[in-house]
Chains A and B, each alone.
Chain A
Amino acid sequence: MPPDDTGDVNQLARTAPAGAAMAAVTDDWVTRAAAGDPAAQERLIREQWPRVEGLLARMLGPRADLEDLVQTVFIETVRALPRFRGDSKVSTFVGGITVRVAMRAMRARGRAPRVVPLPSQLLSSEPGPERRAEAVELLQRVRALLEDLSEVKRVAFMLWALEGMAVDEIATLMGASVPATRSRIFYAQKELRTRAARHPELRALIGAGDG
């Protein structure tokens, strides 16, 4: 789905001093992608695809419109590239945009009911689909418990807990300080434990009552 707006996606880029944009870019292909070179844009998409797809999947869970969201991320990335100053990794730049697209999708979710595609292995006759189904079910319940939390807390927690990212990396992507990010994760974790205590099937997983 093409982006609805680009209002805040360029926040990282805007932090660059005027005139410094692109000056520090050492990767020539990034410069060319910013200038609209199709081959360079394709390379950007190819290299960043797994990260963007993975981040969106972890933050949002299974969604039928995942491809739309990936597309939105790349369109917004290419639009923002001319203002990429080049003193951070491209992956960090793309990750920041991915986080913002995910948060927008979270906000929009109330307007559009989510369709959850079943992983294909659940429909196959391979061994283990029941276990996989259980895992998916458990994780969906965990996500449901976190739905009332603010988007920033949820995203910070999902990136830390599911994607396995370090707190400082999450802080960079979210444009927040490390202590604030750590605090968001902590409070999301605490809230999750409190809520899981009411669900016996989740207590062992979450460690409800431990803290």
Chain B
Amino acid sequence: MAEEELDTGLRERLQALAAAEQDPLPERARARVVDAVRRDTRQRRVRKIGAGVCAAIAAAAGVALWLAPATPAPDAATPTAHAPTVKADECALVQAARGVRFEASRGGGRSLVVAGHLRVVATSGASATRMLVEPCTVAIDLQAGRVAVQARDRKGGELRVRTTHGDVVVRGTTFSVNASEDALAVELVEGSVQVERARRAALTLAAGEALVARGQTVTRTPLTAQARATLLAQLAADAPTPAASAEQVAAPQEPAAPEQPEAAPNAQAPPPAESLLARADGARRDGRVADARRLYRKAGGQRGPAAEAAWLRLARMEMERGRERAARAALDAHGRRFASGVLAAEASWIHVQLVQHKGEDAATRAAAKALIRAHPKSPQARAARRLLRNAGVGDP
């Protein structure tokens, strides 16, 4: 039809835009799809075999009925009752996860909630997708960035976080996985996880442990209180909206913040501290120090462990940049707002390091001893004892 003219100019303009739109899928996505297709083929074969056996039994039962109509076998009417059980396609976990996607959450990241089973929170900037691997695996494909996971009743299914450097298989519980270009980092709060890497023995991580795998090197350390608090805060900050949360996995208990946040100047809720903290970390990594400072302070003005962590990260950043006075100011702010916060031991350790940087040996020892007295069982106390031993001072 002459009047149905298609506009080739429009087409050229749109095609030029489309070239920018989507990154290609990573190379390893193809391997995953090939795996999925193979599994599907195998499962269909199993079903075919099962159906064939059913048909054979049905036929045999029919013949038996025909040959001996006077003495029907009790099961003759339901011959399939004795057929071998064909394995179900999906377990309860996969069924529950079907159709569930990562969705924007109020913490600024994205979260995936499988009601009653698990919650996965991806920080802003993280690249994570949900995959279902039949018959019974939910896999989180983490290309980059960090996810925090809280797994409850997996109904016998498997939860697996896949990264370039290896997989983390859930045996519990509450943990985070951080994938970067050259390393895989796992922090475990509760339960246990297994870290599986290609051509290497699997490692089982227990609660309270952290692991960094970089090439051949694997470092296992105790999980710091700060890391624990940050992970829990991430899960808490990205909790689903109250209306939707009734059936969903309960958020972990957030340690009580001892102080109220600064009064909000207007009625609009500020971004959550966890979101600000993540943005501040990003700015620091990108070298945007002024932005990082501003965001850390803003996060620190709120409540909860993320706010508390913000002051300490600001202090550490300033200390690393040689700005001792600014670092001390951040520590002081932390002390004022979170006098008995969950990260007090970490704050004390930063204080020790600050004094040490100034070359004040006596003050350093005194600060280390004070830390050990105040937080004797903390990882920071262990570091302080090591420092004292190196300085020739025994345990206080």
Contact = CB atoms under 8 A, between A and B. Distances in A.
Of B23, B104, B127, the most chain A CB neighbours within 10 A belong to B23
A78 B36 CA distance: 11
Contact of A136 (B4, B9, B21): B21
A161 interface: yes
Nearest to B28: A67
A132 B23 CA distance: 12
Given A74-B33, A111-B99, A117-B127, A139 B7 contact: no
A79 interface: yes
Interface stretch (B39-47, B75-83, B189-197, B372-380): B39-47
Contacts of A167: 6
Contact of A162 (B7, B15, B141): B15
B199 interface: no
Interface in A7-59: 36, 38, 41-42, 45-46, 49, 53, 57-58
B41 A186 contact: no
Interface string A162-194: 111001000000000001001101100100000
Nearest to A117: B127
Nearest to A120: B23
A114 to B, nearest CB: 9
Contact of B10 (A120, A161, A182): A161
B37 A115 contact: no
Interface residues of B, number: 48
Contact of A41 (B20, B22, B37, B102): B37
Given A46-B30, A182-B6, A210-B7, A2 B21 contact: no
B23 A75 contact: no
B284 to A, nearest CB: 15
Contacts of A162: 14-15, 18
Of B18, B45, B98, the most chain A CB neighbours within 10 A belong to B18
Nearest to A167: B6
A64 interface: yes
B314 to A, nearest CB: 24
B182 interface: no
Contacts of A41: 34, 37-38, 41
Given A58-B18, A139-B17, A119 B23 contact: yes
A113 B24 CA distance: 21
Of B38, B41, B44, the most chain A CB neighbours within 10 A belong to B41
A135 interface: yes
B30 A45 contact: yes
Contact of B29 (A70, A117, A120, A205): A70
B11 interface: yes
**Closest 5 CB pairs between A and B?**
A135-B20, A186-B4, A162-B18, A135-B17, A132-B20
Interface of B: 1, 4-7, 9-11, 13-25, 29-30, 32-34, 36-38, 40-41, 44-45, 98-99, 101-104, 110, 125, 127, 129-132, 134, 141
9 contacts: A49-B30, A64-B129, A67-B33, A115-B101, A115-B102, A135-B20, A160-B11, A161-B10, A205-B13
Given A74-B37, A205-B14, A206-B10, 18 more contacts: A2-B40, A2-B134, A41-B38, A41-B41, A57-B21, A61-B21, A66-B25, A67-B32, A67-B129, A67-B131, A68-B131, A75-B40, A135-B17, A136-B21, A164-B11, A164-B15, A167-B6, A211-B5
